């Protein structure tokens, strides 16, 4: 599988990242045999980046990934996260250290490649949300200390929340990577959107990250699963998924996803998920595309989509026309 340089780091990451979260569910609720098989197949087929977090499956994801990777970690890139609660804000450095050291024990390794903040930026206080200044003043020094101790190689964050705050963190020079919400329903991280577009405007955050040497991980590429075109969810995954950056609810995301079926029918992609994944990798500013999976078949299909490569100009033009129509819904 094709690999790309992750921003200004020396990491060469596969174009597909193996997402170990609860939205897909394999690494939180699947059988050990299925998890081990999927991780082994991923490694054998050039997928070298695995992303997890202590909040995924109440730490089950980290434990299961640590087991599935086995003793041979050659060529493997692992990232995990810390999410600070309101109570943690009294001593964030201690909470951050405890979280990472506990994660490392579960993962059975002495360091991770990327350690990421997993809090929403902006929004109501008292909910664990953080301001950009809180991150820069309280979180970054604690992250740097852990990096200096060799417990993480690089620093990252999940770009969820207020757009101005996200840009401030990208432009600060403090972070090496960012998980950025980008999909066919919510494309504003990668391109300008028309007035009235029914999704958050991230103001081309992917391009800003690229200019500042920040590696980008495209997340919610399948819009939480809605880009399957069905409201039905696999039993292993979360049964209720709130949209991030796109529509007001999951059902609306599914309805809009179905608008892209004519692009598939025209032969530009094998399926809606195939179209969505290839749309994401068509943006050259994106370092890697993270997909959460429920089954081995989904992993293989995601890899097939990435290996097929970017969409054609005709397909992207057809998609753009449909996206423009979404803005017209509210005009």
pLDDT tens per residue across span 49-101: 999 999 999 999 999 999 999 999 999 999 999 999 999 989 999 999 999 99
What is the Cα–Cα distance from 269 to 243, expressed in whole angstroms?
Answer: 24
What confidence score (pLDDT) does residue 126 get?
67
What confidence score (pLDDT) does residue 21 get?
92
What confidence score (pLDDT) does residue 327 get?
85
Of the listed ranges 12-21, 123-132, 233-242, the one predicted with least confidence? 233-242
What confidence score (pLDDT) does residue 245 get?
74
What is the Cα–Cα distance from 248 to 98, expressed in whole angstroms?
Answer: 36
What is the Cα–Cα distance from 134 to 101, expressed in whole angstroms?
Answer: 22
Dig out the tokens for 322 from the structure: 């449909």
CATH number at residue 191: 3.20.20.100
pLDDT tens per residue across span 243-256: 777 788 999 999 99
125 torsion bin: left (phi>0), alpha (psi -120 to 50), beta (else): beta
What confidence score (pLDDT) does residue 330 get?
52
Residue range(s) defining the domain that contains residue 211 = 3-328
Domain count, the chain: 1
Which sign does the torsion angle of CA 260, 266, 268, 273 carry? positive
Mean pLDDT estimate for the chain: 94
Contact 62, 103 (CB under 8 A): yes
pTM: predicted TM-score of the whole model, two decimal places: 0.96
pLDDT tens per residue across span 260-310: 999 999 999 999 999 999 999 999 999 999 999 999 999 999 999 999 999
Can you tell me whether residue 180 is helix, strand or coil?
A: strand
pLDDT tens per residue across span 28-53: 999 999 999 999 999 999 999 999 99
């Amino acid at each position: 599988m094709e690999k790309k340089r992750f921003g200004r780091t020396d990491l060469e990451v596969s174009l597909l990242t193996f997402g170990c979260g609860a939205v897909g569910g394999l690494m939180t609720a699947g059988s050990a045999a299925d998890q081990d098989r999927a991780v082994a197949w991923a490694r054998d087929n050039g997928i070298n980046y695995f992303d997890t977090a202590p909040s995924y499956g109440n730490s089950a994801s980290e434990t299961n990934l640590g087991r599935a990777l086995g003793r041979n970690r050659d060529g493997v890139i692992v990232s995990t996260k810390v999410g600070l609660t309101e109570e943690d804000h009294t001593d964030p450095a201690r909470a951050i250290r405890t979280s990472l050291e506990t994660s490392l024990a579960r993962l059975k390794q002495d360091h991770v490649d990327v350690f990421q903040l997993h809090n929403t930026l902006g929004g109501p206080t008292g909910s664990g949300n953080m301001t950009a200044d809180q991150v820069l003043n309280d979180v970054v020094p604690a992250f740097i200390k852990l990096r200096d101790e060799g417990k993480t190689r690089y620093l990252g964050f999940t770009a969820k929340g207020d757009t101005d705050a996200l840009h401030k963190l990208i432009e600060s020079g403090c972070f090496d990577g960012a998980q950025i919400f980008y999909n066919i329903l919510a494309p504003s991280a990668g391109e300008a959107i028309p007035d009235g577009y029914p999704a958050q405007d991230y103001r081309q955050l992917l391009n800003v990250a690229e200019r500042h040497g920040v590696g980008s991980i495209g997340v919610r590429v399948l819009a939480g699963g809605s880009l399957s075109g069905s409201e039905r969810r696999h039993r292993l995954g979360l049964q209720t998924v709130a949209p991030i950056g796109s529509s007001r609810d999951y059902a609306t995301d599914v309805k809009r996803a179905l608008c892209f079926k004519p692009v598939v029918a025209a032969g530009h992609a094998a399926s809606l998920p195939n179209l969505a994944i290839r749309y994401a990798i068509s943006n050259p500013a994106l370092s890697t595309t993270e997909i959460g999976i429920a089954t081995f078949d989904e992993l293989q299909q995601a890899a097939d989509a990435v290996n097929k490569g970017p969409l054609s100009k005709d397909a992207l033009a057809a998609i753009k026309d449909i996206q423009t129509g979404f803005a017209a819904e509210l005009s």
